[in-house]
Every structure is written in structure tokens, then in C-alpha cells.
Structure 1
Amino acid sequence: MDAFLEYGFLQTALAAGLLASIGCGVMGSYVVVKRIGYMAGGISHSVLAGMGAALFFGFSPMLGALIAALVAALFIGWIKLRWQAQEDTLIGAMWAIGMSIGVLFISRTPGYSTDLMSYLFGNILLVSRSQLWEMAALNVLVIGMVLAFYRQFLAVSFDEEFARLRGVPVNFFYLLFLCLVALTVVLLVQVVGLILVIALLTLPAAIAGHYIHTMGRMMILASGLGMVFTSVGIWLSYVLDMPTGAIIILVAGSCYLLSALFSQWWRERHSGSTAS
């Protein structure tokens, strides 16, 4: 652990992981409860189109990612609201088109191969101080919106029909919710890359859901778990000299499998005790 005190790039990476974990825990809880991981996947993979276009035209890749994520979120939300019968196919097509456009733009940009791998699988060790401020700003925006509209998001997540009866503009808050998921995806891209975003977005929240059934506490526990996973993953990747994003997801995935087995055993044991 002395390496974290000695090397500035590890301290920056740790800060990036902690910042990403906050947004991940907050929005990931909604994604898990509402069971829209595939929609978040469509958003995340469409981000590559924006990053590739931004690189090609000489703009900031993160600005391109942000624009592409928001456009994808609104388009996917519109598909969900208008064409529910075909939404899986349409989102899958958008997923593939976004990735393809991004690869084409990046392939025409000098030095594309290194950038492509870092965008697909993340490179948290190369996060800069300025990017930390960008991540902090996105976190403030996401958390601020969740605090401002907590009850509305809760109603939309659990019972849309009841929310409509209470006069909540469900479609508006649903699209706003997807936009916040898009911002969280942009937060996580720098940590684990586009390919692994959904795992880090959903696994900590899914583990928290095994033991907690209130949204606020689930968000807090999921954020804490995300911080543990990213911190341990960064340390292990440094010690083992292996890709950081993949190690973080391996740690999170292993903990999820152990938690699922334990929670299942616990439920069966208690149900057996009750029956006897």
C-alpha cells in the first residue's frame, strides 16, 4: 500500500475510482431495480461513436462521449416509449452502429490503436487532474438531480402507472433518468472502458440488493462497494502488472457470485427453519 503514498498517478487513479463509484452506486441502483441493464449497455456502446468523431475532428474525447451518451439516452428512451414491441432489436442495432461508427472514425485518426484499446477497456492509470475535476462535476450534477427528484425517480422505477395516477410526468422523468445514466456511463468509461461499464454499473448495486431493500441505503452500500472494488482492483493491477479495468471487474464479479451464493444459502436456511 506504500505505492499509493509514493506515486502520484496511483493517487489520481484511486481518486478517479472513488468518484466513479459514487455515481455508479447511485444510478446503478436504479438500473438494477428497473432492470434496464441492456438499455444502459446500448448507451455505453454508442459512446464510442462520439469519442471517435471527437478524436477525428480534434475535440476532447470526453466531450464527444458526453454528447453521444445524451443523444443515445434520449433516442433509446424514445424507442422504449414509442416502439416497445421492437425495442430489443432497435437498441441492439443502435449498439452495433455506435460501435462501428466509433471504430471507423478512430481508424482514420493517427495513433488510433492505443486510444481504441484504452477506450474499450479503460486506463484509469492515465486519468489526469483535469479529468478528475470533470468527473467531480458530473458527480455533482447526477447527485444533485437525484436529490431534487428523488421521489419522482422512485415512483418511475417501481410503479409507472401509480406515478401517472398521481400526476407525475412519467415520460419526462424517464428520459431524464436515462440522461443521468448516460452521464454515469461517461464517468465509468475512464475507469473500466466501454466494454466493462455495465458490469461496474450493476454489480455493486446487485450485491447491495441482496441485503438491502430501501433505495437510499442501497445507493450508499453500492457506492461503498464500488469504492472497495476499484481500490482493491487498482492495487492488485499494480502488484500483478495487469490491466486495471479487467482486474476491477474480476474483483466485483467474484464478490457478486459469492454474495449470490451466500444470500441464496441464507434464504434457504431460514425458510427451512421457518417451515420446521
Structure 2
Amino acid sequence: MSPLEFIRDLTNPDLGFLWKALLIAVMSSVICGVVGCYVVLRGMAFIGDAVAHAVFPGLAVAFVIGGNLIIGGIAAGVVTAVLVAVFSQNRRLKEDSVIGVFFVAAFALGIVIISRAPGYAGSLQDFLFGSITGIPDEDLYIVAGTGLAILVALFALHKELVTISLDRETARAMGIPVFWLDLALYVLVTLAVVISVQTIGNILVLALLITPAATARLLTDRLPVMMMLSPAIGGIAALVGLYISWSWDYPTGGTIVLVLTVFFLLAWCFAPRQGLIAQRRLATVAVRDAEPHAA
């Protein structure tokens, strides 16, 4: 399918779900791209995967009672995030250990809950791998509103979040409320994950958080530039991935992740300063410059 044919399908009233799928995919990718910058900066990639597990019991309860999946996921994720933030204050246990305990327990609880619903196997597959073509109209508004709230919160807390990411002890000595900022970041990551579940599923959602930000990190040393590049990379990957998925009948979530991975590999090889080729060129120049001195 050519890009023009894809655009024609987007404007076809009989294929309204395709336009909604594109909006959800791009909004989720952009929001996760921004949040992911803080996750990558802080070196807490594990939390994205863990949060995806944490929201599962809320999704399961919402499915069983016929409620909204996004609201159910947000409720479960926020509760788990609060528990992790509280228990992480005990310095005998590292943050990743507490995350592992609570988020995996939450996922197990979700499996138990959803197993009680008839015909749960198909729904479980949708939770794990995404179901972007059956998104109701109300979810568009929920994702847009939640995404806007996330961006506003990150803008308001940007300086403090960067400070605790670079040096927690110094931030604590400066009187910055580290605990509350930790809790805020956990909650914001949770919200970003929940609004992305229908696009890409629980299993693959980590890619939306980490890969665009990691790709942007290879392309620039400046945080403001990184925070603009990351959502742009995520949004473009969502558009390209949906186009490929629709054209060749591939799974949407997996296709978006593979496109993101291709972008990452291109940056790894060809980034102007941090790419593999640039690093080898600099190493060659350094060796060449050192030879006359050695002689």
C-alpha cells in the first residue's frame, strides 16, 4: 500500500477506527517519549516494565466488572506506586528490589482475577499485546486529558526531577522533597504506561518509554534537545509502524516497537558524536595524532 492510499483510508468514514488508532498511537508515543527521558536519565528502565505489571490487576477488575480499562489501570498503578515509594524509604532494600516484589505481586493478582472471567484468554491476549483497532471514543478523551496532565506536571517539576536524578543526596541536603518527587515520578510513569496499554500491550510498553529516549540520548548531550527529540521519534515511529501494520497486516504493537528499534540502531551507528562510526573515526584521528609524538 502506498502512503497516498494509507492517507485515503485515514479519511474514509467507514474506517474511522483507523484514525482513532493513529491518534492513540501517536499520543501514547509522544507522552511516553517525554516521560522516558526522566526514566533514562535516572537509570530506572526496569520501572517501565514493572509498572506494566502493576496496572494489570486494575485492567483485570475493570474487564470483569465491565468498567473502563484505562481508569482501572490507573487506580491499580497509582496504589502500587504509592506502596513502592513508601517501602523504598527503608535503605536496607534497594529501590529495584521493592519494585520487583510489589509489581510482580500485582501482576500475579491480575492473573488470578481475570482467570475468574469466562472467555478471559482472548482478553488476556489483548492486554498483553494491545488492541488498537477496538478503541472506544471516550478513551481518546481520557488519553488526551491524561497526557496533557502528565506534560503539565512534568513541566512544573522538571528542575526538581532532574536534580534528584543526578544527585539524590545533594537534593535531599538542599531540602528538596525527594520522597514526594519519587512518588510523583512513579505515578506519572504509571499514567503514561496505562494510556499506552491499548496501543502496544503490557509486554511491549517498555519500548515506548525507553527506546525513543535512548535514541535521543545518542543524538544529543543536551537535555532540552533530548526532550524534544524523544517524543518526536516516538510519534514518527507510531505513524510509520501503523502504516506498515495496516499495509501488510502485521501486529501493530510489535511493528511500532520494531520501527523504534531500527531508529535506535541507526542512531547507534550514525549519530554525529556518539555513533559507532563517529567514535571509530575519532579513535583513528587520535591514533594518527599520537604517532608523531611517539616517533
Q: Structure 2-normalised TM-score?
A: 0.88
Q: 1:65 aligns with which of 57, 73, 79?
A: 73
In the alignment, is the contact (CA less than 8 A) between 2:48 and 2:189 conserved in 1? Answer: yes
Pair 1:197-2:205 in alignment: yes
Alignment partner, residue 9 of structure 2:
3
Alignment partner, residue 22 of structure 2:
14
Alignment partner, residue 207 of structure 1:
215
In structure 1, distance between residues paired with 2:136 and 2:47: 29
Alignment partner, residue 147 of structure 2:
139
Equivalent positions of 1:243-258 (< 5 A) are: 243-258=251-266
Alignment partner, residue 241 of structure 1:
249
Structure 1 residues 137, 258: CA separation in 2 closer, same or farther (over 3 Å shift)? same
Shift of 1:134: 0.3
Structure 1 residues 76, 272: CA separation in 2 closer, same or farther (over 3 Å shift)? farther
In structure 1, distance between residues paired with 2:131 and 2:122: 10
In structure 1, distance between residues paired with 2:99 and 2:180: 20
Alignment partner, residue 3 of structure 2:
none
Alignment partner, residue 293 of structure 2:
none
In structure 2, distance between residues paired with 1:176 and 1:143: 12
Shift of 1:83: 4.5
Alignment partner, residue 102 of structure 1:
110
What RMSD over aligned residues (CA atoms) do the two structures have, in Å? 1.7
In structure 1, distance between residues paired with 2:49 and 2:217: 20
In the alignment, is the contact (CA less than 8 A) between 2:88 and 2:98 conserved in 1? Answer: no
In structure 2, distance between residues paired with 1:242 and 1:105: 30
Q: Which amino acid aligns with 1:264?
A: L
Alignment partner, residue 217 of structure 1:
225
Determine helix, strand or coil for the equivalent of 1:82.
Answer: coil
| % same residue | 31
Shift of 1:76: 2.2
In structure 2, distance between residues paired with 1:110 and 1:265: 55
Unaligned runs of 5+ in 1: none
In the alignment, is the contact (CA less than 8 A) between 2:212 and 2:230 conserved in 1? Answer: yes
Q: 1:261 aligns with which of 260, 263, 269?
A: 269
Q: 1:155 aligns with which of 158, 163, 170?
A: 163
Where does structure 1 differ by over 4 angstroms across 4 or more consecutive aligned residues?
A: none
Determine helix, strand or coil for the equivalent of 2:11.
Answer: helix
In structure 2, distance between residues paired with 1:132 and 1:43: 22
Equivalent positions of 1:19-30 (< 5 A) are: 19-30=27-38
In structure 2, distance between residues paired with 1:69 and 1:5: 36
Shift of 1:15: 0.6
Shift of 1:203: 0.1
Shift of 1:105: 1.5
Does 248-257 or 203-212 show the bigger shift? 248-257
Unaligned runs of 5+ in 2: 1-5, 290-295
Alignment partner, residue 270 of structure 1:
282
Equivalent positions of 1:177-188 (< 5 A) are: 177-188=185-196
Alignment partner, residue 169 of structure 1:
177
In structure 2, distance between residues paired with 1:232 and 1:84: 46
In the alignment, is the contact (CA less than 8 A) between 1:23 and 1:187 conserved in 2? Answer: no
Shift of 1:66: 0.4
Shift of 1:54: 2.2
Shift of 1:98: 2.0
Q: Which amino acid aligns with 2:159?
A: R
In structure 2, distance between residues paired with 1:23 and 1:143: 7
Q: Could you report, residue by residue, the CA deviation over 1:132-184 in whole angstroms, capped at 9, with x for unpaired residues?
A: 10001111111111111211111111122222232211111111111111111
Shift of 1:239: 1.1
In structure 1, distance between residues paired with 2:98 and 2:186: 16
Q: Could you report, residue by residue, the CA deviation over 1:187-246 in whole angstroms, capped at 9, with x for unpaired residues?
A: 211110110111111000000000122222212111010011111111111111121001
Between Structure 1 and Structure 2, which shows a larger proportion of helix residues?
Answer: 1
In structure 2, distance between residues paired with 1:48 and 1:261: 37
Equivalences, count: 276
